[in-house]
Every structure is written in C-alpha cells, then in structure tokens.
Amino acid sequence: MRHIKLVISYDGTDYVGWQVQPNGRSIQQCLESAWASVSGEQLRITASGRTDSGVHALGQVCSFATKSQLPTQQIVRAINAETPFDISVLTAEEAPDGFHAIRDAKQKTYRYHVQYGRIMDPLRLRTCWYVPGEIDLESMQKAAVLITGEHDFASFESAGAERSTTIRNVIDLQVTPESVHNFPGLEIAITANGFLYNMVRNIVGTLIRVGKNREEIEWVAWVRDQKNRRHAGQTAPAHGLFLDHVVY
C-alpha cells in the first residue's frame, strides 16, 4: 500500500466546502470521483483542513493510501484531466507509511484579503471582502500583536465543532497593505499550530472593527480574555479566505 501526498489549489466559490455533503458538490467529492475514474479505486481522500463553503486554497494538502502503481507525475496529469477547471492538483509525491494530512500537520498559514474604499473592485467579488470607506491599517497592526502568541481563543471560535481545548499558538499574524487593480486593500496572514472553527474569519472581523475605529486597540485583548464568542467582531465572509500552505 502506497501513501500519497497531494498539494491542491481551488476556487471554493461554487462548492459546499471541502467535505462531502448531501446538499451540494464538494472539493473532496470531485477529487475522489476523479481518482475513481483514473484508478478504479473508491477511497477516502483526507485534507489538512475542511475548508468551508466559499473558502479557497492555494496549497491545501491531501493524503490517501492506494494500491495503484501510477507514477506520481502521471497522478497529477490524470486527476487534473478529470476535475473541474477550478480545482488543480499542483504536486503529488510518495509519503511515509501512515502519513495523514491532518494528524501530521505542524502549522498552517491562512491569508485573508480585504478591499476597501469608496468603490468596489468588480473583478475581486469572489476573492476578497469589500469594506466600504477607509481603514486604519496601523491600528489593526497594533491590535494584531495582542492576538499573537499562545492564548485561549474561545472568543474566536464559532459553535459547531467541539474541541478538547481552545488553546492555540498564533505564531505570526501580519496585517499588510495590498493594492490590486489600483484599489486599496489589505492582507491578513495568520500562522498557527492549529485553528478553531471559523477562528481566522472571527479574528479578521474583530480586527476590522478596530480598523474602522469602532473599537480601541486594547479592546482586542479584552475580547481575547473573555473567552466568549459573543464579545468578538463579526465572522468575516468566507470568500476572502485562502488556505495558503501547511507545514509538516
């Protein structure tokens, strides 16, 4: 039995998310169907994270065990020939016995894109959150420091996915300016040893409140310490979020 590691990219707009669900087409479903067409095997492909409906990926990592002897170079071409154009396998490689995309992950990086200003960029409706008006980038950067490090992130966890602990280590959190198509914007990049359900999107929504001068910088530390989701900002829309890469 071989263990295969895939790195894939996808536009999540037209999918119900990564995981197979009865109410629509998922990324996992498309990949498993493609592999069945290529190899004749019906098997489960595991991803490092179950991205929600509308969330995108630049470097999602997947794993599966197979009896197929198809060379890894051919695996990339064969699966891409069977998947929709908004899903691409970037690389395929032999993985150590027992490799598991979730259990073996050490850290992940997500990127969230925001466009702001008086006019919305019509070319980025599927890939960023439009926030009308100006944003105080410096205040957001100072507030981001208050979330960096090991904390209990219960205030930033949405209901629906119970965990044994809500303590996580945010290794890096950067808010940087980003101009695309001459429209002002920003990127929030966050690296952690693990993420709670909707943690990134809830952190983004909280930081945006500071950026819009609706809350003081220190409010973010207060929210963090309350360990209660109802005190944080809104959950930022899914379509601005990208899973960037995973470290093993």
Q: What is the pLDDT of residue 159?
A: 84
The three-state (H, E, C) secondary structure of the chain, written as one string: CEEEEEEEEECCCCCCECCCECCECCHHHHHHHHHHHHHCCCCCCEECCCCECCCEEEEEEEEEEECCCCCHHHHHHHHHHHCCCCEEEEEEEEECCCCCCCCCCCEEEEEEEEEEECCCCHHHCCCCEEEEECCCHHHHHHHHHCCCEEEECHHHCCCCCCCCCCEEEEEEEEEEEEEECCEEEEEEEEEECCCCCCHHHHHHHHHHHHHCCCCCCCHHHHHHHHCCHHHCCCCCCHHHEEEEEEEC
Note the pTM of the prediction, 2 decimals: 0.96
Domains of the chain, residue spans: 2-95, 107-247
CATH class of 107-247: alpha beta
pLDDT on residue 164:
87
- Active-site hit among 52, 97, 104, 136: 52
Q: What was the pLDDT predicted at 99?
A: 97
Q: Is CATH 3.30.70.580 the right assignment for the domain spanning 2-95?
A: yes
Q: Which residues of the chain have pLDDT under 50?
A: none
Would residue 86 show up in a list of annotated catalytic residues for this protein?
A: no
pLDDT score, position 154: 96
